[in-house]
Amino acid sequence: MSNRLLLVDGHAYAYRAFHAIRSLNSPDGRPTNAIFGFVKMLQKMVGSLKPTHVLVLWDAGLAIERSTALPDYKANRPPTPEPLEEQFPQIETWLDAVGYAQFQEDGTEADDWIGTYARRAEMAGWNVVIASSDKDFLQLVNDRIGILNPNDKSEKIWSAADVEAKTGVRPDQVADWLSLIGDAVDNIPGVSGVGPKTAAELLRKYGSIDGIYARLSEIKSESQRTALSAATDAVRRNQLMIRLHEAKVGGPELPTLVPGQPKLASLRELYARWGFRSLLAEVGGAGSEPTQGSLF
């Protein structure tokens, strides 16, 4: 069997857990909803996918080249809620205790590290599953790299065919497609009047942004020609911002990403502190039998 690497977008899953479970606190009153949801989601993913290697990547700032190119990059995002912020160190502690590798580097975004590790694993002949709903990762999909999108209730691993069915373009065209339509989540403006369907039609006909601009005079719609011409600099900037940095240097080596042996004593202490009785029972914690009707 080929090695299979599971790459987890850490912040995305922590946020998802935080909003999925609205209220959950430890016996001492501290919020634990993001911790519990993150643990259960990662347990489910690992149980289903059975990866040979696991790596959770965390954001640690914005890429300076993106912020320089567009000062308003991601400026529309609200600050992290304080009850979630205080749970991040606890999630990291749990990852260490359960034996899963994690990594972050100051001044870098998890997206670029996920792209880097996906390509490293691909070049090593491994299969890769990226767990994230971020559409930027669609540009990575190929025969060895797939996406597990938590918004997709089918829970299937997205292939290149799934990407094309969703976007109307091939994975290698996704960065150009996003450069044309923009990305409201990251506060990147696109070409006025060019939506996902129009962008896909242009790319299917002309192949790429280079092809579109080389044959701009052939586009029948005057409004499209005018909008594309006016947005030339913005589109070129968007290409640089949306394409993932897939050759970053550093981070743990691939062979070290094999899950380690869980530190059961540490897990028992954590689950008892957080009041997670069902999880405590899984690791044989003293007095861990959940009471009738207990969820946690």
Per-residue pLDDT reduced to its tens digit, 76-113: 888 999 999 999 999 999 999 999 999 999 999 999 99
Q: Hey, what amino acid is at 208?
A: S
Please report the pLDDT score of residue 61 as a whole number.
86
Kindly report the CATH class assigned to 171-242.
mainly alpha
Nearest to 54 by CA among 65, 43, 40, 67: 43
The rounded mean pLDDT for the chain is 93
Report how far residue 54's alpha carbon sits from residue 73's, in angstroms, rounded to the nearest whole number. Answer: 30
Domain 171-242 in the same topology as domain 4-159+245-282: no
pLDDT at 161 over 70: yes
The Cα-based distances of 252 to 117, 126, 129 in angstroms read: 10, 16, 18
What band does 18 get if pLDDT is binned at 50, 70 and 90? very high
Kindly report the CATH class assigned to 4-159+245-282.
alpha beta
For 33-53, what is the mean pLDDT? Answer: 97
Look up the pTM and report it: 0.92
Please report the pLDDT score of residue 291 as a whole number.
33
Show the beta-strand stretches assigned E in the chain: 4-9, 53-57, 101-103, 127-131, 145-148, 157-158, 182-183, 188-189
In the block, residue with structure tokens 């044309």: 180
Domain boundaries, the chain: 4-159+245-282, 171-242
Please report the pLDDT score of residue 288 as a whole number.
44
Residues whose CB falls within 8 Å of the CB of residue 164, separated by 6 or more in sequence, listed in order: 170, 171
Angle between helices 33-49 and 10-20 (to 10 degrees): 120
pLDDT at 22 over 90: no
For 21-36, what is the mean pLDDT? Answer: 95
Per-residue pLDDT reduced to its tens digit, 210-224: 999 999 999 999 999
Q: Hey, what amino acid is at 296?
A: F
Please report the pLDDT score of residue 289 as a whole number.
44
